[in-house]
Amino acid sequence: MSTRRDSRAERRSSAGLWRAYADRPAHNVWSGVLFGIGLIAFVDETVFHQILHWHHFYDLASTDVGLASDGLFHALSWFATIAGLFLLADLRRRDALVWSRWIGGVLLGAGAFQLYDGIVQHKLWGIHQIRYVDDIIVYDVIWNVTALAMIGLGVVLLAAGRASRIRRRSR
């Protein structure tokens, strides 16, 4: 019993914290990435599919098929969200959570998903557009620039977290 208590105290000490974190730097990022994918997919589904009715996940068939594809998309996005939250809970339990790396992962995941959606699904596969209007380029540019901004900010946060970790290790 005392060993277990000592182990918890050690993990909570700064040396123990960095030892726990050193074992899980990628978990911070992957937890954030999965949560970010789920979050941005939820926003896409809620705002563009359900509230504005601009498109469905799959627009190349009937409305019924489009609605069914929206449901599958929504379910899969929640699996990513839940997986990210389980990893987050594990990181917190192990005192290994580094918020800057996690938030960087969220932005990286959200931006990567949005860029994939804007380039692959909208343009390469053509399964839906952001909005069906004559001048779609404005929507495409805003969509993809927003995705690149999220990716860029996520990379900056991840790099800052990595530099901080390297500085702390060298002390």
Could you report the per-residue pLDDT of 100-137, keeping only the tens digit for each? 999 999 999 999 999 999 999 888 888 888 888 888 89
Q: Is residue 21 part of a domain?
A: no
The pLDDT value recorded for residue 18 is 47
Structural domain of 75: 27-170
Q: Is residue 14 part of a domain?
A: no
CB-based contacts of 61, cutoff 8 Å, min separation 6: none
pLDDT at 147 over 60: yes
Q: What is the pLDDT of residues 16-55, one digit of tens each?
A: 544 554 556 789 999 999 999 999 999 988 888 788 888 7
Q: Is 134 helix (H, G, I), strand (E, B) or coil?
A: coil
Q: Structural domain tally of the chain?
A: 1
Q: Is residue 7 part of a domain?
A: no
Q: Is residue 9 part of a domain?
A: no
Q: Which long-range contacts (CB under 8 A, 24 or more apart) does 68-73 make?
A: 70/45, 73/41, 73/45
- Mean per-residue pLDDT for 61-77? 83
Q: Is 55 helix (H, G, I), strand (E, B) or coil?
A: coil
Instruction: Output the six-digit token pair for 107.
Output: 């932005």
The pLDDT value recorded for residue 4 is 52
